[in-house]
Structure 1
Amino acid sequence: MQLRHLRYFVALAHHRHFARAAAECGVSQPTLSAGLAALEQDLGKRLVERDRRFIGLTPQGQAMLPWAQQILGAMGSMAQAVAAIAAPLAGPFRLAAIPAALPLVGRFGDALLHRHPGLHLMVHQATSRAIEQDLQALSCDAGLTYLDHEPPAHVVAVPLAQERYLFVTRRDGGDCGAAMDWAQAAAMPLCLLHEGMQYRRILDAQFAARGLAVTPRAVADSYVALLSMVQAGRFATIIPDGYAALLTGLDWAAIRPMAGVETARRLGLVVLDRQPIGPLALAALDVARGLAA
């Protein structure tokens, strides 16, 4: 079994398209197909359902995927550990962040790249569950996520921020400054993240604790989309206070805290708790602990 064939397999599972997987691996499509066939021959199992195009992974392919991801991730960490003995860290640093934690990316990323100028940061947005899966599969180096609500398992965590709620409407749609009542908010034409997003589940729990239920008029998977709808004038939304600094200077936005005493939720950096911890994860922990201090 050859590592490059595992790379072909993982790339195809990610892109679900032969040509795009081949492009990522820097090979022709026939070379990728031949490598996958060789991998299947080595294992004696069919891994990919295909006709003239990619259809999906077989049950055997699905079972193999997380192991292939971990093998490639471990090989990458081993190479980094060896290289770090004689030279500064270099190459990509893969950071996954839930939408609520995206305002932390700038502070963490700036500190990481200042400390390790040979790295280049690759950020992608993901759900908290996807971040946990990516860490286990060694397909990301660190994540920014919630530490208390549905906390990820088997991680080392560093708290970086505490989160509270902000209610946002157009400035001509409400007063600034005064706290917003939860019952009043529930009666507004809300646009919120969809139920697959952790922040939405947290909000739903807050409403339910007050005997309220919300049916938003619109849902999205990003705060940019929510704020765009609010700016249009017919919607209101509830966002984490980490976004407040990003809204400074927007003359159309009326921003109000949500009423009532609440326990702040912690957001922070997480890396996979395994031994040995790879050099990139160690670098991330060191930077995060410096920021937390």
Structure 2
Amino acid sequence: MLFRQLEYFVALARERHFARAAQACYVSQPALSEALRKLERELGVPLVRRGRAFEDLTPEGERLVLWARRILADRDALEHEVTALQTGLTGELRIGVIPAASSTVALLTDPFCTAHPLVRVQLETSLRSLDIVDRIRRFELDAGIIYAHGIDTAGLSAAPLYTERHVLLVGTELLAGRTGAISWAEALEMPLCLLHKGMRGRQLIDAALAEHGLRASPQLESDSVIALLAHVSTGRWACVVPQPWLHTLRPPAGVRVLPLRDPAVTAQIALVTAAGQPEPVLAKALSATARTAHLDDTLAQAGEHRQD
């Protein structure tokens, strides 16, 4: 059994097409097909269902492709470890990020890249927490930034990064003299625009309000925080967004940021990496950066500077 055969097998499982898999591996289609047939003969089980073209993996293939990914991940980790001993960290670090953390991930990746300039970082910033965890388990991602609550991270390493807090953005004309923190009951009286119900941030809001017998009925909903800020900038709307977004997206002129209470809506954001002994070297280095970056303190200080 050769690593090359496993690479072809994993590529075919990903691409679901012989020609695309061959192209991804920089080989001809006949060479890829023959290597897979040899792998099947060595293992003694069929891996691929073939007709005139690729049909699917066999049940045996579906089970064994996970082992192939694991073996290739361990090989890559070994190569990274050896290279690190010789010249410092190199390779590619694949990180999945929930949309809510896309504005804060730079607080982690920037110091990481500064410390390890030879490592390439690939970010995917439109994934759900469940998808990120699943892809780490399948060795398709090396790390992820997720909502921690309600997510099964058994068998993985998980560490808190920061607490996400929701705040109210509102034009001064709508405040009518209010100062300091504002209650949800007061906020719900304003013309609100919120994230739509399919998004995790909105689900957190609705769940917290329901526990206090409250319900949000915004006139306008959007899947874009930027769209919400654009509406608030007109002076006729108020919106609720996670405070960490404001670390990058500055509030529009004439808009104030107020803490929300009764209830306070919060969520724990966590860094998840593959576990194992020895721990993958790139994931280990990312976790070390997270421990020294103190994202919670940085975001809390930024939030204080933007609130009255």
Larger gyration radius, structure 1 or structure 2:
2
Aligned to 2:65: 65
Does the Cα contact within 8 Å between 1:46 and 1:58 map onto a contact in 2? Answer: yes
Post-superposition CA distance 1:28-52 (Å, at most 9, x none) = 2332233333333333333334444
**Structure 1, unaligned runs of 5 or more:** none
Distance (Å, rounded) in 2 between the aligned partners of 1:244 and 1:226: 10
- Contact map agreement 1:155 1:270 (CA 8 A) in 2: yes
- Matches of 1:54 and 1:168, distance apart in 2: 53
Structure-to-structure mapping, 1:51-90, within 5 angstroms: 51-90=51-90
- Per-residue CA shift, 1:226-276, capped at 9, x if unaligned? 534774799986532211122215459886654424363322322223211
Which deviates the most, 174-183 or 5-14?
174-183
- Which amino acid in 2 is paired with 1:285? S
**Cα distance, 1:74 vs. partner?**
0.9
Question: RMSD of the TM alignment (CA)?
Answer: 3.6
Partner of 2:28: 28
Deviation at 1:150, TM superposition (A): 2.6
Q: 1:181 to 1:263 in 2, by over 3 A?
A: closer
Relative to structure 1, the CA distance from residue 250 to residue 61 in structure 2 (aligned partners, 3 Å threshold; closer, same or farther) is farther
| Aligned-partner residue type, residue 181 of structure 1 | W
Structure 2 residue identity aligned to 1:132 = V
Could you tell me how far apart the structure 1 residues matched to 2:45 and 2:238 are? Answer: 53
**Deviation (angstroms), 1:277:** 0.7
User: What is the SS of the residue equivalent to 1:71?
Assistant: helix
Distance 1:39 1:236 in 2: 61
1:127 matched to 2:128? The reply is yes
Indicate if the aligned counterparts of 1:93 and 1:121 stay in contact, CA closer than 8 A: yes
Cα distance change, pair 259–67 in 1 and its aligned pair in 2 (3 A): same
Q: Is the 8 A contact 1:179 1:259 kept in 2?
A: yes
- When structure 1 is superposed on structure 2, of 130-139 and 204-213 the one drifting more is 204-213
Corresponding pairs, count:
286
The code of the aligned residue for 2:165 comes to R
Residues 1:215 and 1:46: Cα distance change in structure 2 (over 3 Å):
farther
In structure 2, C-alpha distance between the alignment counterparts of 1:102 and 1:80, rounded to whole Å: 27
Change (3 A) 1:229 1:267: closer
Question: Hey, what does 1:209 align to over in structure 2?
Answer: 211
User: Which amino acid in 2 is paired with 1:60?
Assistant: E
The answer on whether the counterparts of 2:196 and 2:221 sit within 8 Å (CA) in structure 1 is yes
Cα distance, 1:110–1:90 mapped onto 2, change above 3 Å: same
- Which residue matches 2:47? 47
Which is further off, 250-259 or 262-271? 250-259
Q: Percent identity between the aligned chains?
A: 32
Deviation at 1:130, TM superposition (A): 2.0
1:86 CA drift (Å): 1.3
TM superposition score normalised by structure 1:
0.79
- Are 2:165 and 2:243, in contact at CA under 8 Å, matched by a contact in 1? yes
Counterpart contact for 1:191–1:235, Cα < 8 Å: no
AA at the equivalent of 1:8: Y
Alignment of 1:85-104 (within 5 A): 85-104=85-104
1:106-185 pair list within 5 angstroms: 106-125=106-125, 126-150=127-151, 152-167=153-168, 179=182, 181=184, 184=188
Deviation at 1:66, TM superposition (A): 1.9
Partners of 1:173 and 1:17 lie apart in 2 by 59
Provide the C-alpha distance between the structure 1 equivalents of 2:135 and 2:84, rounded to a whole number of angstroms: 23
Distance in structure 2 (CA, Å) of the matches to 1:101 and 1:89: 25
Contact preservation (8 Å) 1:96, 1:142: yes
Tell me the secondary structure at the aligned position of residue 45 of structure 2. coil
CA distance in 1, matches of 2:119, 2:81: 14
For 2:226, the equivalent position in structure 1 comes to: 227
User: Structure 2: 5+ residue runs without aligned partners?
Assistant: 298-308
- TM-score between the two structures when normalised by the length of structure 2: 0.75
Distance 1:119 1:208 in 2: 45
Deviations 1:82-124 (A, max 9, x none): 2221111112111111122222321111111111111111111
Task: Give the alignment partner of residue 270 of structure 2, picking from 261, 268, 271.
Answer: 268
Q: Kindly tell me: are residues 95 and 37 of structure 1, through their superposed partners in 2, closer, same or farther at Cα, counting changes over 3 Å?
A: same
1:27–1:257 distance in 2 versus 1, CA, 3 Å: farther
